[in-house]
Amino acid sequence: MALCRVSVLGLRAARGGSQIRQRLRLRSTEKKLAGDFLHQQSLFSHQTFRNAGGPAGAPGPGTNHSLYAAIVGVSALGAGIYVYRTVQRDKARFCERTSYLSSRRETDLKEVKVTETVDEKKAVKEEVKTTGIVDDKTAPQTVESALPEQLPSHVPFLLIGGGTASFAAARSIRARDPGARVLIVSDESELPYMRPPLSKELWFSEDAHVTETLRFKQWNGKERSIFFQPPSFYVPPEQLMSVENGGVSVLTGKKVVHMDVRENKVKLDDGTQISYEKCLIATGGIPRSLPAIERAGEEVTKRTTLFRRISDFRSLEEISSSVGSITIIGGGFLGSELACALGRKGRQTGLEVIQMFPESGNMGKVLPEYLSHWTTEKVGREGVNVLLDAVVKSVNYQNGKLHIHLKDGRQVQTDHIVAAVGLEPNTELAKSAGLELDGDFGGYRVNAELQARNNVWVAGDAACFYDIKLGRRRVEHHDHAVVSGRLVGENMTGAAKPYWHQSMFWSDLGPEVGYEAIGIVDSALPTVGVFAKATEKDTPKRAAEESGTGIRSESEVTETGQVDDVKPPASSLDFAPSQQGDNYGKGVVFYLRDNVVVGIVLWNIFNRMPIARKIIKDGEQHSDLNEVAKLFNIHEE
């Protein structure tokens, strides 16, 4: 506004100066025409005036130019003074208006906060009055801003999947790049958490509210949460790109449905598009169902649990307290763990627990036959009715019960079914992203650095990688998710490391019996077992007390001790299983391929995994595996 006024004043001054100059020229012409007359008439007067000390002569052209300059100068000075005063007044009015608008906005925000807080307090009072419980979930949350915020359209690091592998990668990225900004997109409503306790420790909790708190006591007695970090650890997704020093954000309840690896962009199920610089696919797996259940109809499927997530744990825990019987189909790790947990609960509540599977014993695809049979007896002692060699033919719902028909003619009636028959890798993004899948093992095929394409990596259950010792593999265990996720995080920040880790896994049949395993553990392979009498300290509970942690892969990963070369004394080649009778207290089972150890199970032997890893890494033939077993100190009291 002030600039416009200065322009107008300048135009006015120029026009005034032009008019004055024209007048001066006209006056000069008139004087020239009458010059002689004026000169003659005033000669005497001018002469007299000059003698009196006046000017040197009559006004002429020089005098006219001086007058013009004086008039223009005075006009410019006046215009400058006017402009200065105008700008100062405008500045004062602008500051006053800005201050008014700012105070008005702060007042509005305060009113919003007060209104929201009052409403929340009313809601909290009503909930406390109803339930009598006050916790963090019912505490009012202050509204920080009344203005809507938007998700970032671009992030440096995008992690698809909210499980263990993604969290391990995020932590690794931040360790190498403290200012990194990482966005995790998860189709679950929960923050990243560990899955093993869902079928283990949580079922043995004495807390009546365990489904809400999701806290449990480890075998060592220490309490912890199932979540890796509390909510305060994460940055709200809307603030990820603006917060100082970056951070990790989790976008829950959203699913990536399309991926463009050429444009480095993904599309969410709500239509939102996010571009990235580096991307990790850690989508995990989807629980399998049985064809007989899938074709049975809605009445059967809605009474069937495919156990995988927190929501499944909460649902099954509630069901187990309200029905009369539950049947678990599946004899592997998950099925056997749930059978033991529910069987122990059933002994207190009267719940009937049935477990059925096609094999001749629990974990029959993993353990040698004699050990599988011993495990079945253990599960039976927990109060479970175990049906062996049971192949499901059909399932139907009739008269308020599920009827399971087996191929050998047996029939089972139950109230609820838990299908624990394996995991299918989640590869839904393969088609849109143009990523290669493995035809034998499933999952995304990746190179030694777990990379599927330029700027795209895969970790966890969905990765099919090449093991330099054991060939191409796909692993579905917690330790693999931790280590592969951590390695990908390093490689996403430029490490370029190959994946050489031999991941381990473990299973507990309650606090008294458990085992750890590494490599290829397949009951179809030749095995050699060396066993000894167990002591009181040879249990998962005591092992956890000594190591200080219940998640054994964590203690195993932090192991720093060096393992000496494995060179047992030579003797005759004998791969007959050790005859230990019916009491397999503790021991080592070696799995062989071409007379080379490719897998090891440590039965009630804990915190010895680095030794087992070294044996597999060496890839040597051993003439006497009884001597190799001594490396695990199985005979110490």
- Whether the pLDDT of residue 627 is over 50: the answer is yes
Q: Which of 335, 15, 329 is nearest to 199 (CA)?
A: 335
Give the mean pLDDT of 300-329: 97
Q: At what angle do helices 61-131 and 2-33 cross, to 10 degrees?
A: 170
3-state per-residue secondary structure call for 331-386? CCHHHHHHHHHHHHHHHHHCCEEEEECCCCCCCCCCCCHHHHHHHHHHHHHCCEEE
Eight-state DSSP code of residue 449: T
Q: Which residue has the higher pLDDT, 239 or 581?
A: 239
Average pLDDT over residues 394-408: 97
pLDDT at 323: 96
Q: Answer whether 326's CB lies under 8 Å from 415's CB.
A: yes
Mean pLDDT of the chain: 80
Q: How big is the chain by its Cα radius of gyration, in Å?
A: 42
Q: Can you give the pLDDT at residue 563?
A: 45
- CA quadruple 139, 143, 148, 153: dihedral sign: negative
pLDDT at 511 (0 to 100): 67
pLDDT digits (tens, 9 = 90+) for 543-555: 555 655 555 554 3
Least confident of 6-20, 223-237, 611-625: 6-20
Which range, 88-97, 213-222, 298-307, has the best average confidence (pLDDT)?
298-307
Using one digit for the tens of pLDDT, what is the confidence trace for 444-502?
A: 999 999 999 999 999 999 999 998 888 899 999 999 999 999 999 999 999 999 998 88
pLDDT at 277 over 80: yes
Task: Give the pLDDT confidence score for residue 510 in this predicted structure.
Answer: 66
Report yes or no: 440 and 425 within 8 Å, Cβ to Cβ: no
* Residues in Cβ contact with 179 at an 8 Å cutoff, skipping those fewer than 6 apart: 245, 246
Query: Percentage of the chain with pLDDT > 90?
Result: 60
Phi-psi region of 443 (alpha: psi -120 to 50; beta: other; left: phi over 0): left
Residue 623 has pLDDT above 50, yes or no: yes
What single letter denotes the amino acid at residue 406? L
The pairs formed by 506-509 with CB atoms below 8 angstroms and a separation of 24 or more are 506/552, 506/553, 507/333, 507/336, 507/337, 507/363, 508/200, 508/219, 508/337, 508/540, 509/336, 509/337, 509/340, 509/375, 509/378, 509/379, 509/382
Q: Quick one: DSSP state of residue 504? A: E
| Structure confidence at residue 635 as a pLDDT band (50, 70, 90) | confident
- Per-residue confidence band for 581, with pLDDT thresholds at 50, 70 and 90: very low
pTM of the model: 0.72
Q: How does residue 508 score in pLDDT terms, banded at 50, 70 and 90? A: confident
* Residue with the larger pLDDT of the pair 4 and 520: 520
Give residue 72's pLDDT: 67
Q: Which of 11-25, 319-333, 341-355, 619-633 has the lowest mean pLDDT?
A: 11-25
Cβ neighbours of residue 608 under 8 Å, at least 6 residues apart? 516, 602, 632, 633
Per-residue model confidence (pLDDT) at position 555: 39
pLDDT (tens digit, 9 = 90+) per residue, 132-190?
Answer: 333 433 333 323 333 346 899 999 999 999 999 999 999 999 999 999 999 999 999 99
Which pLDDT belongs to residue 81? 73
Cβ atoms of residues 580 and 506 within 8 Å: no
Q: Is residue 88 very low, low, confident or very high in pLDDT (cuts 50, 70, 90)?
A: low
pLDDT in tens, 93-107: 555 555 544 444 444
Question: Which residues, including other chains, have CB under 8 Å from residue 243's CB and lie 6 or more apart?
Answer: 235
Query: Hey, is 116 helix, strand or coil?
Result: helix
pLDDT in tens, 42-83: 443 444 434 444 444 444 544 556 676 677 676 777 767 766
The pLDDT of residue 351 is above 70 = yes
Instruction: Summarize pLDDT for 12-23 with one digit per residue, the tens.
Output: 544 555 554 555
Query: Is the Cβ–Cβ distance between 158 and 278 less than 8 Å?
Result: yes
| Whole-number pLDDT of residue 472 | 92
Can you give the pLDDT at residue 556? 42
Contact 194, 168 (CB under 8 A): no
Distance (Å, whole) CA 202 – CA 226: 9
Going by pLDDT thresholds of 50, 70 and 90, the confidence category of residue 513 is confident
Segment 258-267 shows an average pLDDT of 97
Q: Are 555 and 549 in contact (CB under 8 A)?
A: yes
Least confident stretch, 193-207, 268-282, 432-446, 573-587? 573-587
Assigned token pair, 91? 């500045």
Section 403-425 average pLDDT: 97
Query: Which residues, at least 6 apart from 58, have a Cβ–Cβ distance to it below 8 Å?
Result: 42, 46
